[in-house]
Amino acid sequence: MSSILMRYPIRNGSTHKQIKFISSIKSRTLITGPPPTTPSTHRHTTPTSAPLPSPVPLPFFSPEVSSTHAGNGDAKPLYVPGSQADRLARVGRMSSPLRRGSHESWWSGEMGWFNAVAKTIPTYRVLDEEGHLVKGTKVPEITKEEALAIYRTMTLIPVVDNVLYQSQRQGRISFYMQCAGEEAAIVGSSAAMLEGDEMFGQYRESAALLHRGFTLDALMSQCFGNVEDKGTKGRMMPVHYSAPELGFHTITSPLATQMPQAAGAAYALKLDEDRQGDCVICYFGDGAASEGDFHAALGMNSVLGGPCIWFCRNNGFAISTPIIDQYAGDGIASRGPAYGLDTIRVDGNDALAVLSAVREARKRAVEGKKGVLVEAMTYRVGHHSTSDDSSMYRRVEEVKEWTVVDNPIHRFRAFLASKSWWDETSEKNLLSSHKSAVMKAFSRAEKLPKPKLGEMFNDVWGVGKGDEVPAVIMEQRAELGRLLKKYGDVWEPWRKERKRFVEEGMDVMDCDGRGS
């Protein structure tokens, strides 16, 4: 079993020393006992979810008619006594654990209770909390340009978060979600992916999207829902980004709904001969892992195959629910081997460790055409969203301690400084540049007009030019027009928008549902 050796910390209730990728094959033989006499067939070579074949072809049964059916001329033979040895051999083949859903197991007369594949799963890290290399660790290959690109994005997103969070408090946008404290997990994993890969985010992956090439103008336009919001066209809540040109699929609000989609995308890549080197990465949180779609997606991926990295940001909370109230097992990583997935737990506040682990995960996923689970142990410093007040369920002192003791940005900056790739002057210039760029994009996006109201009826049906628009769309559009005429001057935002359209010689409902 190939492996990555890892040393780790004590984090979120886990105690760790050293780690290897938990192989989906080796982890099945951890219970003590004799090894199977016949090797099992690997799951991923089976094209469907049909039961695996017996390792030894079953003999053709041509038994004699038993005495209880001797009087029935049409009776089928049921059983051939044969010799005792023959009977035992046949019974052994028919009732082996392999035929009953277990790949590598054996019969035992002793009870073998267990509640984990090991006492605990260790956490891989490269840098400690001070940004120093862990003794005995292997530093992943990274150039100065790659390292600085990661750091620029890690330092950019806090500026974006602060501006948009405060703007929501001022009523300038409707909603926002920060990714404070999780910068290393998000950017480090994104940096390990390649250009042709597919990315499914949850709702804290704006940093991954920015690192992938998403512009600040595009990000701000989506949060304001203006006419330049090309991905969602002003019809989605803020932070629900979409960038098909970058392989980033549209974010949806319900937890874990992106996971079955990612499993399907991975299976599609497996079947597409022109995309055999591409991979899917699907982000989700520890709360999403409690949803049924988590299990449906991992089950589908483990059976059908397809290169997919399941990247869990275990930040300690599902909104206000701490992990101690979510599960009793050893985190999310302990679930991977149960689905036959190679699995690793990594320090999510260590950008180098995340980069290294996801690179290896991608290699395993692509070469094996299978899923790999990565659990990144991190901490959500910010509130869940602008609709949340985390001081109601955790101490403010706890949050402050995390920002000082285990700050992912400080850790990576210390590594850069140790390589003489960064200094205080560079830091000052970078932050000044970030603030200027963010405020420029913010001001521009805020001034741009909203899409026409009738835009909401576009793209609902696959209607092209010259095609007839379904009656249901026309009826809904007419009803909205009636409400606008009756109540359009009651609400100030509507009144302003109607006035602007009139002044520009346009109809606020100038869309017919044929798509843009």
Q: What is the 3-state secondary structure (H, E, C) of 176-237?
A: CCCCCCCHHHHHHHHHCCCCCCEEECCCCCHHHHHHCCCCHHHHHHHHHCCCCCCCCCCCCC
Alpha helices (runs of H) in 346-423, residue ranges in sequence order: 351-368, 396-405, 408-418
CA dist., res. 162 & res. 169, Å (int): 11
What is the model's pLDDT at position 342?
94
Q: Does residue 220 form part of some domain?
A: yes
In a domain, 276, yes or no: yes
Please check whether residue 356 lies inside any domain of the structure.
yes
Let me know if 432 is exposed, middle or buried by CB neighbors in 10 A (0-12, 13-18, 19+).
exposed
Element (H, E) at 461: none
pTM of structure = 0.79
Tell me whether residue 74 is in a domain.
Answer: no
4 by DSSP, 3-state: which?
coil
Residues 119-168 have pLDDT tens digits of 678 999 999 999 999 998 999 999 999 999 999 999 999 999 999 999 99
pLDDT tens, residue by residue, 297-327: 999 999 999 999 999 999 999 999 999 999 9
283 with 202: CB under 8 angstroms? yes
pLDDT of residue 4: 41
198 and 281, same domain (yes or no):
yes
**For residues 138 and 497, what is the distance between their CA atoms, to the nearest angstrom?**
59
pLDDT at 65 over 50: no
> Does residue 281 or residue 57 have the better pLDDT?
281
Classified as helix, coil or strand, 283 is: strand
* pLDDT at res. 92: 57
**83 alpha-carbon distance from chain centroid:** 56
Residue 9: what pLDDT? Answer: 42
Asked whether residue 443 falls in the same domain as residue 461, the answer is: no
Q: Does 62 reside within a domain?
A: no
- Measured distance CA(166)–CA(160) in Å, rounded: 10
The residue ranking higher by pLDDT, 488 or 20, is 488
Among candidate residues 447, 467, 490, the one where a domain is terminated: 447
**Is 270 within the bounds of a domain?**
yes
Predicted confidence (pLDDT) at residue 466 exceeds the cutoff of 60: yes
Does residue 196 fall inside a structural domain? yes
Assess whether 341 and 463 both reside in one domain: no
Is the model's pLDDT at 224 over the cut of 80?
Answer: yes
> What is the Cα–Cα distance from 262 to 308, expressed in whole angstroms?
7
- Percentage of the chain surpassing pLDDT 90? 62
**Same domain flag for 220 and 174:** yes
pLDDT (0 to 100) of residue 91:
54
Treating both helix axes as pointing N-terminal to C-terminal, what angle do 408-418 and 183-191 enclose, rounded to 10 degrees?
60
Buried b (16+ CB within 10 A) or exposed e, 95-120: ebebeeeebbbeeeeeeeeeeebeeb
Task: Give the model's confidence band at 509: pLDDT under 50 very low, under 70 low, under 90 confident, else very high.
Answer: low
- pLDDT of residue 226 exceeding 50: yes
Condensed to tens digits (0 to 9), the pLDDT of residues 166-206 reads 999 999 999 999 999 999 999 999 999 999 999 999 999 99
- Regarding whether 372 and 297 lie in a shared domain, the answer is yes
How do residues 434-463 score in pLDDT, each as one tens digit?
Answer: 999 999 999 999 999 888 888 888 888 888
Tell me the C-alpha distance between 322 and 316, whole Å: 6
* Same domain, yes or no: 352 and 470: no
On whether residue 281 sits in a domain, the answer given is yes
Do 201 and 224 belong to one domain?
yes
Supply the angle between the helices 144-169 and 183-191 in degrees, to the nearest 10.
130
Q: How many structural domains compose the chain?
A: 2
Cβ-contact 214, 201 below 8 angstroms: no
Cβ-proximal residues to 91 (8 Å cutoff; 6+ apart), any chain:
none
Whole-number pLDDT of residue 43:
37
| Per-residue pLDDT, 477 | 86
**CA separation, residue 382 to residues 53, 174, 240, 247, 314 (Å):** 51, 18, 18, 28, 14
3-class SS at 25? coil
- Parent domain of 481: 453-503
pLDDT at 444: 98
Pick the last residue of a domain from 447, 462, 485: 447
Same domain, 424 and 461: no
Mean pLDDT across 464-484: 86
Measured CA to CA, the distance from residue 458 to residue 392 in angstroms comes to: 42
pLDDT of 58 reads: 37
Q: What CATH number did the domain enclosing 358 receive? A: 3.40.50.970
Residues 464 and 419 both lie in one domain: no
Average pLDDT over all residues of the chain: 82
Together in a domain, 311 and 381 = yes
Q: Are 442 and 467 contained in the same domain? A: no
pLDDT of residue 18: 44
Q: What is the pLDDT of residues 70-88, one digit of tens each?
A: 444 444 444 445 666 666 6
User: What is the model's pLDDT at position 316?
Assistant: 93
Q: Are 412 and 128 contacting, i.e. CB atoms less than 8 angstroms apart?
A: no
Residue where a domain stops, chosen among 415, 432, 447: 447
What pLDDT is stored for residue 117 in this prediction?
55
Using one digit for the tens of pLDDT, what is the confidence trace for 9-61? Answer: 444 444 443 445 655 444 333 333 344 444 444 434 333 333 434 344 434 33
What local confidence, expressed as pLDDT, does residue 511 receive? 55
Terminal Cα distance for the chain, rounded: 52
For residues 273-286, average pLDDT: 98
* Three-state secondary-structure class, residue 360: helix
Claim to verify: residue 442 and residue 485 sit in the same structural domain: no
**Residue-wise pLDDT tens digits, 328-375:** 888 999 999 999 999 999 999 999 999 999 999 999 999 999 999 999
